[in-house]
Amino acid sequence: MSPLGLYRPGDSLPHRLPAGFKLLLMVAAGATSVFLDHPWQGASAVLAVLGGYLLAGFGLGTVWRQVRPLVWVLGPIAVFHVVLGGWEQAAVVLGLVLSLVLLAALVTLTTRTTDMVDAVVRALGPLRVVGVNPERVGLLLALGIRSVPVVVGLAQEVRDAQRARGLTASPRAFAVPLVVRSLRHADALGDALVARGVDD
């Protein structure tokens, strides 16, 4: 039910690992990934991440839902690399992208936003001396995550309203009302944040 890879409660090892550790792991995986250059390495990376999903108690359906939105991107990338560098290069690149995306999704599926935000806030703590407010950054991060489904919902409303009036899909006729609604939403959200004491 959660197409956006939001947190799913659980008790497994991936759930129990500290959020900071999982974030570090993601950074490390990203850094290591540039050294991959054999198809078997790409395949092992994907298998390792799939192992993480199993550990966390998620099935292949969950895995597929994380990848599905990317199919349109991965297909052309694969073709591009097959043509330019052969299937081996394509396999390496696909393995790399797939494993990183799946890893990031696994981290969000097994980590509460609050815990992730807390980890980021702690990591940014030292930047206080140069004037960064880590709590603010953390709040922005949480708001960003929360806003994705809201904006998706607004986009659906705009599209439905246009269909109801028989308007054909022109990008501008879609974008303008969506931007207007999003700005109105942001304005209302700002009021709510103030009312809930955010500028305390």
Partner 1 sequence: MPVIDIERVSHTYGEGTSRRTVLRDVTVTLTEQRIGIIGANGSGKSTFVRLLNGLVVPTQGAVTVDGLDTRRHAREVRRRVGFCFTDPDAQIVMPTVAEDVAFGLRRRGLGKAEAAARVRETLEAYGLADHADHPAHLLSGGQKQLLALSSVLVTDPEVLVLDEPTTLLDLRNAAAVQRVVRGLPHQVVLVTHHLDLLDGFDRVLVFDEARLVHDGPPHAAVEHYRKLMS
Segment contacting partner 1 by CB under 8 A, of 7-15, 18-26, 99-107, 158-166: 7-15
Q: Identify the residue among 64, 75, 114, 161 touching partner 1 (CB under 8 A).
A: 114
What does the alpha-carbon distance between residue 45 and residue 48 come to, in Å, rounded to a whole number?
5
CA dist., res. 50 & res. 173, Å (int): 42
- Based on the shown chain and the rule CB under 8 A, indicate whether residue 104 belongs to the binding site for partner 1: no
Residue 126 Cβ vs partner 1, minimum distance, rounded to whole Å: 21
Tokens, residue 124:
């940014």
Residues near 97 by beta carbon (within 8 Å), at least 6 away in sequence: 70, 74, 77
In this chain, which of 67, 70, 124, 189 binds partner 1, going by CB under 8 A?
189
Q: Which of 150, 162, 177, 182 binds partner 1 (CB under 8 A)?
A: 150
Neighbours of 156 (CB within 10 A): 10
Helix axes 39-55, 60-67, angle to 10 degrees: 120
112 touches partner 1 (CB under 8 A):
yes
197 binds partner 1 (CB under 8 A): yes
Residues counted in the chain: 200
Nearer to partner 1, 156 or 170 (CB): 156
149 binds partner 1 (CB under 8 A): yes
| Least distance (Å) between residue 107 CB and partner 1 | 14
How far apart, in whole angstroms, are the C-alpha atoms of residue 15 and residue 108?
Answer: 10
Residue type, 192: A
Residues that bind partner 1 (CB under 8 A): 1-2, 4, 6-9, 112-114, 139, 142-143, 145-146, 149-150, 153, 185, 188-189, 191-200
